[in-house]
Structure 1
Amino acid sequence: MTESAQAPMLPRQILTGKARLAGVLGWPVSHSRSPVLHNYWLSRYGIDGAYVPLPVHPDNFEQAVRGLQAAGFRGANVTIPHKEAAYALTDDLDHSAQRAGAVNTLVFQPDGRIRGISTDGDGFVDSMKAEGLFPHTHATERKRALLLGAGGAARSVAAALQDQGLDVAVTNRTVERAEKLADALPGLDVVSWAEWEAQLGMYDVLVNTTSLGMEGGPDPMFRPNLKRAAHHLVVADIVYVPRLTPLLAEAEQQGLKTLGGLGMLLHQARLGFREWFGQDPEVDADLEAYVRATF
């Protein structure tokens, strides 16, 4: 996906009494780019609707969700720290949410039930495919992926990669968390944090699912040694601020193909938008430029 020189200017939508409404619940939520991208799509497709940020304290989460539902919202995204609470609150869980053990998308049904979806893993896979970086699997040659981290994002991505036919391993500084994740996803291997760099030659995909390397994160200079990587290794990072994380910079220096985190953010939003607003939106360079201009 290439960046446009300038983000496109879009007309401001005029809301009517029939407007479709959705939003994103988080605490905090000011960092979320979801309102930017969803409202871009609403303007682009001329839809009478709005998508709003909803800062909700964890103690008020269920009350807020019920209130949105009662107020006629079509649904909402949920971000940190609400994904597990959303999982517990839903009446129906899609396969994606069951596998991920978390929910990031709520759809309010006409009968009053709440459907829970996890779009993170599929969003990651779709971003890889959009860039032509997803490894082609064969019956006689299974591809292998190694994930850094064992949190909620790791579970979503691992489940999606497994569903696509890849063999997946995970490594984490706290081995107990990695083992817990392996228990939740049968077939997942655990690799020692002290040894994963030395084993990179065995893998086709490396994914950082942690906040390591994120601007303002716990270790913004996280730059592991990739010299033992196979020449065909694809290095992906779900962090999108900065655009070029130290991990991706190291991968480029080693001549490896890379994938940044913004594509995952954009692709994971498509399903919710389609459910709430009735339009399957396009992820393209103009959208990327528009969202990136807000960083």
Structure 2
Amino acid sequence: MKAGVAGWPVDHSLSPLMMQAWLTDAGLAGSYDRIGVQPDAFAATISRLRDAGYRGINVTLPHKQAALTLADEASEGARACGAANLLLFGPDGIVADNTDIVGVEAALAESGWQAGVGPAVLIGAGGAARAALHVLNASGAPVRIINRSRDRAAGLVRSMGCAAEIYGLDDAAAALEGARLVINATSLGMKGQPELCVPLDALPPGAAVFDMVYAPLETPLLRQARARGLRTVDGLSMLIGQARPAFEAFFGQPAPAGTQVRALLEAALEERA
């Protein structure tokens, strides 16, 4: 059984470390590879991987929307998000799914957030924001989106058929007023990227802050949230959450519950720091 993760770049991906640990603990013979694919070679690479006997692949930036277009069949979640992070290869064609939705749900469950308590703020309007917006929209919570380009945020909302108030970075404080949840779906705060300069002073006590970034684990946004005593969730929660259904889809059984994958990934991040 062969699977992998395709992206550009992809050398930084922690998914092979996690998947291999699960394979070992499950006693399964299989492999999970990093597959670097430039955007103009994505379709040809998918064809090559199918011919090479791969069961499927995870898909990361910048290929998630392109992945959906290659599918013969797609899950409701993938269609709703307009993007797929999982392609399965079978005799009847390619099936697309979006397990990022499961990852977001896992992170929000860890945060203790409940949809009925107040507005949720989503920072970003790129590919990473799609699963979060889908989950928030399904929850019925009022959604506010902060993005540098208001037009891009409005386009995301239209393309997904969702409802959200749109704010720019210049009026982020107004968007955060009274919010009970903040999700960062941008790369800001990631190692080598500028910090995300969004003040959290307007958040009430008990609000939760979820940052999809996991390198570093404690981003400036999470550090600010913890200093205010807010609940926080880092990007590893989503990474692990979205990987569990992918492992089962590739290898035919659930990921072993006893594998200490978070500790393994945290150690890997410390080595890279």
Q: String of CA shifts for 1:83-115, please: whole Å, max 9, x gaps.
A: 12211111111111111111110011232x101
What amino acid is aligned across from residue 137 of structure 2 in structure 1? Q
Say if 2:103 is the partner of 1:123.
Answer: yes
Distance 1:123 1:92 in 2: 21
Distance 1:223 1:273 in 2: 36
Give 1:142 deviation, angstroms: 5.6
Give 1:50 deviation, angstroms: 0.8
Question: Which of 135, 155, 170 is equivalent to 1:180?
Answer: 155
Give 1:35 deviation, angstroms: 0.6
Distance 1:110 1:160 in 2: 31
**Kept after mapping to 1: 8 A contact 2:121/2:175:** no
Q: Which residue of 1 aligns with 2:52?
A: 71
Say if 2:179 is the partner of 1:203.
Answer: yes
The number of residue pairs the alignment matches comes to 268
Q: Which residue of 2 aligns with 1:169?
A: 144
Greater Rg by CA: 1
Question: Which of 49, 55, 78 is equivalent to 2:36?
Answer: 55
Distance 1:46 1:150 in 2: 40
1:173 partner SS: coil
Give 1:120 deviation, angstroms: 1.3
Greater mean deviation of Cα atoms: 282-291 or 157-166: 282-291
Q: What percent of counterpart residues are identical? A: 38
Q: Which residue of 2 aligns with 1:148?
A: 123
1:196 partner SS: helix
- RMSD of the TM alignment (CA)? 1.7
Give 1:42 deviation, angstroms: 0.3
2:260 partner SS: helix
> Which stretches in structure 2 are left out of the alignment for 5+ residues?
none
Q: Which residue of 2 aligns with 1:100?
A: 81
1:195 partner SS: helix
Q: String of CA shifts for 1:127-162, please: whole Å, max 9, x gaps.
A: 221x2x24234xxx4642100111111121110222
Q: Which residue of 2 aligns with 1:269?
A: 243
After TM superposition, the score normalised by the length of structure 1 is 0.86
Say if 2:222 is the partner of 1:253.
Answer: no
In the superposition, relative to structure 1, how do residues 45 and 284 fare at CA in structure 2: closer, same or farther (>3 Å)?
closer
In the superposition, relative to structure 1, how do residues 242 and 82 fare at CA in structure 2: closer, same or farther (>3 Å)?
same
> Which stretches in structure 1 are left out of the alignment for 5+ residues?
1-19
Say if 2:113 is the partner of 1:135.
Answer: yes
Greater mean deviation of Cα atoms: 147-156 or 282-291: 282-291
What amino acid is aligned across from residue 105 of structure 2 in structure 1? V
What amino acid is aligned across from residue 153 of structure 2 in structure 1? A
Give 1:285 deviation, angstroms: 7.6
Distance 2:259 2:25 in 1: 14
After TM superposition, the score normalised by the length of structure 2 is 0.93
Q: Which residue of 2 aligns with 1:6?
A: none
Q: Which residue of 2 aligns with 1:3?
A: none
Q: Which residue of 1 aligns with 2:189?
A: 213
